[in-house]
């Protein structure tokens, strides 16, 4: 019965030689790896607006959101170009972990690995929580169902990914491209309204009275806070570098093209959504997302196109978990192969995916959703610190790589990765400072604990290896000295084989 149910849910097992058939083309890879990055456009702008509207500069929320968005788009560009270098130098799976291990040492690689694992878990929790928030904004479901619905989506994503990389890519391709199409339609229609007839006035938009100085220390702190919240838009860019080998040949070139596409689409959608929020004067509300307000302003509440945007947003937010389901198991398998996680995470399942890693990710992210009651704003402060820490380590490792290898064009690559290291390093410090009391301290405590677990697991395997190792000299096999009784009723032809076997174990 177990086998029958398993085959019904996951399909027939694949043979090992079929692994090459599971490789992804760029269109399928985009749906697998881009979901996390694209989904962040659904809440990154809202997080920026919340940070400003809760401050003493609330009257200038929309004016101040534009320079913050521009800074984040520049950061997206820098990180995307930096990871092109990572994929070219380290085309094997591992990404940041591989770079840190090769160039910065064991401790740095542990820090990178722990940061990415934490980020992958949070991506799933935040993605499904934001997804159910998008659908509850329409009023179709009551808010108290959010937690159970989010857990249901995690189970659904787990089953989809257990069916195999290629099959999950086919399943997830339509929702991913639906979201891209819906955003193009939303932004295009909004821009057309702006050009053709101007935007309707929003009576609730605060009146901008008085003035402020850009050198005001309080304003600088508010801008940094908004910037730290908006940096959630960058999560997911690094995912391609952790799964380069799932691409079809040429793997490096296809992976680099995918990174460029992700960075370009992410920047355009994020800029468009922030632009529409600015000109429509959208203000964050407790019971409705910013994306829902923008769609309602552009298409009218209750219209088909409004619900299309909400459904597409729900789909991409839930699918953002798929980036983690692609990256977490592969990174876990690499760490397990190095002896820092249990060996069970190395094994491929019936569908040639790392099934144990997928199940572990589902369990840990489900626990987070349950503990935080699927509250997106409660989970967001934990978000992005891990990924920006891994960004910084990757760029630092690449700077050392270029300096040591001095390959053709190394100076230009050094400048790109050096700029990436400085900008992501400063962003990491800003995130840690601004979000520490909001809950980021949990991540800053969890990462060292995971690093300690890495070392403990490694020491355990080292101890077992020493116990099982053969001595270099004077080895004598164990002497077998057992008394064996063979009970027979009489001596016959059947007795002789039994006696001969008894002699081999006595």
Which residue has 């990404």 as its token pair?
A: 95
**For each of the chain's 506 residues, which pLDDT tens digit applies?**
766 666 656 666 655 555 555 577 888 888 777 777 787 887 788 888 888 887 777 777 778 888 889 999 998 898 888 888 888 888 876 678 888 888 888 999 999 999 889 988 988 888 788 778 777 776 677 767 888 888 998 998 888 888 776 666 666 778 888 999 999 999 999 888 888 766 544 433 444 444 555 556 777 788 887 887 788 777 777 778 877 877 888 888 888 899 999 999 999 999 999 988 887 888 888 778 888 889 988 888 778 898 898 888 888 877 777 778 878 888 899 999 999 999 999 877 766 678 899 999 999 999 989 988 888 767 776 767 888 888 889 889 989 988 888 888 888 888 888 888 888 888 888 878 877 777 778 888 889 999 999 999 999 999 998 888 777 766 666 677 788 999 988 888 889 899 999 988 88
Whole-number pLDDT of residue 206:
43
Tokens of 88: 């070219």
Tell me how far apart the alpha carbons of residues 129 and 123 are, in angstroms, rounded to a whole number: 10
Whole-number pLDDT of residue 6:
60
CA atoms within 13 A on the CB side of 108: 17
Whole-number pLDDT of residue 204:
39
Tell me how far apart the alpha carbons of residues 395 and 417 are, in angstroms, rounded to a whole number: 5
Name which of 86, 45, 91, 82 is nearest 289 in CA terms: 45
Q: Residue 24, SS3?
A: strand
CA 391 to chain centre: 13
Which residues neighbour 416 within 8 Å (Cβ) at sequence distance 6 or greater?
78, 81, 82, 85
Peptide bond into 250 cis (omega under 30): yes
Q: Mind spelling out the 3-state secondary structure of 315-353?
A: HHHHHHHHHHHHHHHHHHHHHHHCCCCCHHHHCCCCCCC
Tokens of 283: 């203000």
Whole-number pLDDT of residue 300:
84
Q: Which residues of 215-249 are buried (b: 16+ CB within 10 A; e: fewer)?
A: eeeebeebbbbbbbbbbbbbbbbbbbbbbbebbee
Return the sign of the alpha-carbon dihedral for residues 125, 323, 106, 334.
Answer: positive
Name which of 122, 134, 93, 94 is nearest 246 in CA terms: 93
Tokens of 450: 């995971």
- Say how many Å lie between the first and final Cα of the chain, rounded: 42
The secondary structure of residue 470, as a DSSP letter, is: P
Tell me how far apart the alpha carbons of residues 118 and 113 are, in angstroms, rounded to a whole number: 9
Tell me how far apart the alpha carbons of residues 469 and 494 are, in angstroms, rounded to a whole number: 41
Whole-number pLDDT of residue 351:
62
Tell me how far apart the alpha carbons of residues 229 and 231 are, in angstroms, rounded to a whole number: 5
pTM (2 d.p.): 0.75
Whole-number pLDDT of residue 347:
79
Whole-number pLDDT of residue 181:
92
Which residues neighbour 400 within 8 Å (Cβ) at sequence distance 6 or greater?
103, 104
């Amino acid at each position: 019965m177990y086998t029958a149910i398993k085959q019904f849910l996951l399909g027939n097992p694949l043979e090992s030689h079929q692994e090459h058939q599971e490789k992804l083309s760029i269109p399928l890879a985009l749906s697998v790896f881009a979901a996390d990055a694209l989904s962040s456009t659904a809440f990154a702008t809202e997080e920026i607006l919340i940070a400003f509207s809760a401050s003493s500069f609330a009257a200038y929320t929309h004016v101040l959101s534009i320079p913050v968005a521009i800074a984040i788009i520049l950061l997206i560009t820098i990180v995307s170009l930096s990871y092109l270098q990572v994929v070219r130098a380290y085309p094997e799976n591992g990404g940041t972990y591989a770079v840190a291990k090769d160039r910065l040492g064991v401790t740095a690689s542990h820090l990178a690995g722990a940061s990415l694992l934490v980020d992958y878990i949070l991506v799933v929790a935040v993605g499904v929580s934001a997804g159910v928030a998008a659908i509850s904004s329409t009023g179709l479901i009551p808010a108290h169902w959010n937690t159970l619905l989010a857990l249901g989506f995690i189970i659904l994503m787990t089953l989809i990914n257990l069916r195999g990389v290629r099959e999950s890519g086919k399943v997830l391709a339509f929702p991913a491209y639906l979201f891209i199409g819906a955003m193009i339609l939303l932004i295009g229609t909004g821009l057309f309204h702006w050009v053709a007839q101007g935007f309707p006035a929003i009576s609730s938009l605060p009146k901008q009275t008085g003035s402020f100085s850009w050198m005001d220390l309080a304003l600088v702190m508010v801008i940094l806070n908004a910037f730290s919240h908006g940096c959630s838009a960058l999560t997911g860019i690094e995912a391609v570098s952790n799964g380069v080998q799932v691409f079809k040949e040429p793997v490096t070139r296809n992976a680099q093209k995918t990174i460029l596409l992700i960075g370009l689409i992410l920047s355009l959608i994020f800029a468009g959504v922030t632009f529409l929020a600015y000109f429509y004067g959208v203000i964050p509300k407790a019971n409705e997302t910013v994306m829902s307000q923008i769609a309602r302003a552009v298409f009218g509440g209750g219209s088909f196109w409004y619900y299309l945007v909400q459904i597409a947003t729900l789909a991409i937010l839930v699918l953002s978990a798929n980036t983690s389901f692609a990256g977490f198991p592969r990174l876990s398998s690499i760490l397990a192969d190095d002896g820092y996680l249990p060996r069970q995470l190395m094994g491929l399942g019936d569908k040639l995916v790392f099934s144990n890693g997928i199940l572990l990710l589902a369990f840990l992210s489900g626990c987070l959703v349950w503990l935080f009651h699927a509250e997106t704003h409660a989970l967001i402060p934990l978000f992005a610190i891990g990924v920006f820490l891994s960004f910084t380590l990757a760029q630092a490792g690449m700077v050392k790589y270029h300096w040591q290898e001095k390959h053709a064009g190394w100076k230009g690559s050094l400048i790109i990765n050096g700029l990436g290291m400085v900008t992501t390093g400063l962003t990491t410090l800003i995130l840690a400072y601004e979000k520490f009391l909001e809950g980021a301290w949990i991540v800053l405590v969890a990462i060292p604990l995971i690093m300690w677990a890495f070392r403990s697991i490694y020491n355990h395997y080292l101890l077992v290896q020493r116990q099982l190792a053969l001595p270099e000299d004077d080895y004598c096999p164990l002497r077998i000295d057992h008394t064996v009784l063979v009970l027979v009723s009489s001596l016959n032809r059947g007795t002789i084989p039994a006696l001969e076997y008894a002699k081999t174990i006595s």
